[in-house]
Amino acid sequence: MTNTDTEIEEKLEEEVPGNEKGAIVVHIEHLKKSFGTKEVLKDITFDLKQGENLVVLGKSGTGKSVAIKCLIGMLTQDEGVCEVFGKEVKDLKETELKELRQKIGFLFQSGALYDSMTVRDNLAFPLTRVLHMTDTAEIDKLIEEMLDNVGLKDAIDKMPSDLSGGMRKRIGLARTLIMKPKIMLYDEPTTGLDPITSKEISELMLTMQKKYKISSIIITHDIACARITSDRMVIMKEGVITAEGTFDELESSKDEFVRAFFK
């Protein structure tokens, strides 16, 4: 581990409860969320354990993304419990929420790269703004290491508009992982990609999870991605969880709705 790694680890490591393997890092219980008269989350309950990859599978519009947005404080639930590292997210103060967000990585569906910046600046942004790193040599070293991890070292000075969809996702993943998060939230990471790139991204997610010992929640409706990445899966239907288990258990389920995903 380099000095830079150690420095970031120290900044992020401070007293994270549930750091031991198997401990519950995310706890969601009876979560409810409505937008106007539309009840999107009706009753969601699940946990995420340390080092685990949890895949949340469901049709579009069933509230999968809403659930993880509650986890990171982008949305506030109407009812229920939404705890990360033992802390209720909606009760956190602004500074506490900011601290929590440093421990959680969020990969958006589109990659959400900053259009006006090069790949280098995209990756440097959280380091300089959030971790307040100033040493450019250290920053460059970290950026190169992270780009090497996602196999895109040559793209360092490219603009996001010069990258393909798959490359954008990889860079997005690198930008998130550069903060060394404890939990990763993936919002449909393989949507819009061809099957080969989709498989590459899924394998990359798994590699990164093992390398950095991250717990992940993966929102998807891509069964191939779920097969590669999942330790455990939950299936959502119209705002409620209808099934839970490993990939193999759910694949052999007799429930027609569950089976429909595996056809």
Partner 1 sequence: MEQTATSKSTKILEEVGVQMSFMGGFFRNIFRSGFEWNELIRQCYIIGYKSFGLVAITGFILGFVMTLQSIPTMKEFGAVSFVPSMVSISVIREIGPVIISLICAGKIASSIGAELGSMKVTEQIDAMDVSGANPMQYLVVTRIIACTFMIPILCVMADALAVCGGYFGSNISSDVSATLYFNKAFHSVEFSDMVPSVIKSVFFGFAIGFVGSYKGYNSNGGTESVGVAANSAVVNASLWIILLDAVAVQLTSLFVYN
Distance CA 136, CA 253 (A): 53
Q: Which of 43, 78, 99, 144 binds partner 1 (CB under 8 A)?
A: 99
Contact, 235 vs 258, CB < 8 A?
A: yes
Q: Whole-number minimum distance, CB 259 to partner 1, in Å?
A: 33
126 binds partner 1 (CB under 8 A): yes
**Among the listed residues 5, 6, 29, 74, the single contact to partner 1 using CB under 8 A:** 74
Applying CB under 8 A, the site for partner 1 has a residue count of 24
Q: What is the DSSP letter of 155?
A: G
**Window contacting partner 1 (CB under 8 A); options: 22-30, 48-56, 129-137, 188-196:** 129-137
Give the C-alpha separation, 170 to 32, whole Å: 33
Question: Whose Cβ is closer to partner 1: residue 73's or residue 261's?
Answer: 73
Which residues is 24 bridged to in the sheet? Answer: 49
Binding of partner 1 at residue 260 (CB under 8 A)?
no
CB of 195 to partner 1, least distance (A): 24
The answer to the question of residue 101 lying near partner 1 (CB under 8 A) is yes
Interacting residues with partner 1 between 153 and 192 (CB under 8 A): 172, 175-176, 179
Overall size of the chain counted in residues: 263
The one segment of 46-54, 82-90, 113-121, 247-255 that binds partner 1 by CB under 8 A: 113-121
Our finding on whether 146 is near partner 1 (CB under 8 A) is no
- At position 21, the amino acid (one-letter code) is K
- Between CA 119 and CA 132 the distance in angstroms is 19
Question: Can you tell me the distance from the alpha carbon of 187 to that of 199, in angstroms, rounded to the nearest whole number?
Answer: 16
Q: Are 184 and 25 in contact (CB under 8 A)?
A: no
> What tokens were used for 212?
């950095």
Binding part of the chain for partner 1, among 44-52, 94-102, 139-147, 197-205 by CB under 8 A, reads 94-102
Exactly one of 38, 98, 210, 259 binds partner 1 (CB under 8 A); that residue is 98
Q: 129 CB contacts (<8 Å, ≥6 apart)?
A: none
CB nearer to partner 1: give 104 or 258: 104
Q: Which residue has the tokens 């093992």?
A: 210
Contact between 77 and 31 under an 8 Å Cβ cutoff? The reply is: yes
Q: What is the CA radius of gyration of the chain?
A: 18
Least separation in angstroms between residue 172's CB and partner 1 is 8
Nearest to 144 by CA among 120, 117, 170: 120
Q: Provide the minimum distance between the beta carbon of 100 and partner 1 in the complex, in angstroms, as a whole number.
A: 9
For partner 1, the binding residues (CB under 8 A) are 72, 74, 98-99, 101-102, 104, 106, 108-110, 112-115, 125-126, 129-130, 132, 172, 175-176, 179
